[in-house]
Chains A and B, each alone.
Chain A
Amino acid sequence: MRHRAEQSGSIPRDKTEPEWFASALSRHGGIIRKVAWTYCRSAEDRADLTQEILAQVIAASDRYDRDRPFATWLYRIALNVAIGQVRAVYRQARVMVPLEDSHSGIAAEPVDHERREARAALDAAMLELDPYNRALLLLYLDERSQREIADIMGLSPSNVGTKIARLKRHLRGSLGLVEPEGDDA
């Protein structure tokens, strides 16, 4: 498991507010990419969602409390924007957007067959889930602790544990998922 302190990042506090914020955002930009990938099927939709998340992040930046973990704060905004936007898009289309062939190939560099297959399978698994369980799967795969997931989602840690166990059972069935020993996230 990745070290949480490394992910939440010890960003120097002697920087001015805009510098500090830009630095924190650069450091945790991957969160926005992961959320956009989780909720959008096409590159164009991902770019739109990324812009929308960034706009909301900037709008909310005045209210950010530096004593709170930046990654948790950013995850909350990104997921809230993504879920809201996905609902609006689905409502307009009234159908689920089919998986684009190009989607599993968004990596510029070639990937091996097993990875390509795994990525397509993960894509399909995400598509099967409702927006809240997608968020849960993303956070689980991103190795966030139960407490942190509870904090992001607004659930109790025990409720998160129950839901993740249910999600794993589902993935065992749909992906034939095998968990490494001692994986208690």
Chain B
Amino acid sequence: MNTDLLRQILAEIEAEGDDMPGLRALTQRSRAHRQASDATEALADSRIWQILIGIPVLLTGASVWADQLPHTGLLFASGVAFHIYGALLIAFGVGIRLLARRIDPAAPVIETQERMAQIRRIAGIEGWVVGMSWWVLWIPAIVVLIYTLSGFDLFRLASDGSWLIANLAGGVIGTTGLWLIRRWARASGRGQLAEGIDDLLTGQRVRDAARALDAVRRFAAN
């Protein structure tokens, strides 16, 4: 077998079939379609909501811990946790938005693929941190919200540490619920949902993205 024969085969493939399907129709579609079909644009836009949610979360947390500064305790710690959570929402949102906007599908392959792998890795870490932290954060969140709305400190009702037991019980119930949803998703043929839950629980998405990043860097370096 020689290279010329392989090139002839490639030329056959190039000449096969009709013209690109609906090519002219596609090129004449509206600007709205162009924008909708730009996946990186959509990824960047989706983070605006995350940033908008992160701002009040951060401010609420900050106002609670600032208010409790003279007598630091559980409510103060909850305010700090809420503040950090808001900051993480904003930081991940801004980071992914900036990276997504820098992706140019017409840029050299190595550059684009490296950036896409970086985004996937950050989005994987974000999903894990932002999603899983609720198993710990749900009681502090309730306490912070009630304090903000009414000025009442719920921890006063549970100074014996029962809040910790409730928090742990919530975590167990939540994880079991997630596992049941995963089982139902698998049984009902919703493979993507089941896989998404698997990824969230095991960090698979982050590992996949890290491997993709390694692969592109290895290829560029060798």
Contacts and interface: CB of A to CB of B under 8 A. Distances in A.
A184 B220 CA distance: 21
A154 B219 CA distance: 11
Interface in A96-125: 106-108, 111, 114-115, 118-119, 121-122
A178 interface: yes
Interface in A59-81: 59-64, 73, 76-77, 79-81
A179 B24 contact: no
Q: Is the interface of B mostly helix, strand, loop or mixed?
A: helix
B19 A76 contact: no
Contacts of B109: 76, 79-80, 83, 132, 135, 152-154
Contacts of B24: 22
Nearest to B18: A29
A92 B208 CA distance: 11
Interface residues of B, number: 53
B9 A122 contact: yes
Contact of B34 (A30, A58, A64, A175): A58
Interface of A, secondary structure class, is: helix
A31 B10 CA distance: 10
A26 B24 CA distance: 9
B112 interface: yes
B110 interface: yes
Interface string A1-34: 0000000000000000010011001100111111
A173 interface: no
Contact of A58 (B7, B8, B37): B37
A107 B191 CA distance: 34
A114 to B, nearest CB: 7
Given A132-B215, A154-B220, A180-B3, A26 B105 contact: no
Contact of B212 (A37, A55, A87, A92): A87
Contact of B37 (A34, A55, A64, A135): A55
Contacts of B21: 47, 50-51
B3 A183 contact: yes
Nearest to A156: B220
B12 to A, nearest CB: 6
Contacts of B33: 58
A37 B1 CA distance: 20
A165 to B, nearest CB: 12
Contact of A77 (B17, B105, B208): B105
Interface string B103-128: 01111111111001000000000000
A84 B116 contact: yes
Contacts of B113: 80, 83-84, 132
Interface string B84-117: 0000000000000000000011111111110010
A177 interface: yes
Contacts of B110: 132, 153-155
28 contacts: A22-B28, A33-B16, A33-B17, A34-B13, A34-B14, A51-B21, A54-B26, A55-B37, A60-B104, A80-B106, A81-B105, A83-B109, A114-B5, A115-B8, A115-B12, A118-B5, A119-B9, A130-B215, A141-B7, A142-B7, A153-B109, A154-B220, A155-B108, A155-B110, A175-B6, A177-B3, A177-B6, A180-B4
Interface of A: 18, 21-22, 25-26, 29-34, 37, 47, 50-51, 54-56, 58-64, 73, 76-77, 79-81, 83-84, 87, 91-92, 106-108, 111, 114-115, 118-119, 121-122, 130, 132-133, 135, 138, 141-143, 151-155, 159, 163, 175-180, 183
Interface of B: 1-10, 12-17, 19-21, 23-24, 26-29, 33-35, 37-39, 41, 104-113, 116, 191-192, 195, 208, 212, 215-216, 219-220, 222
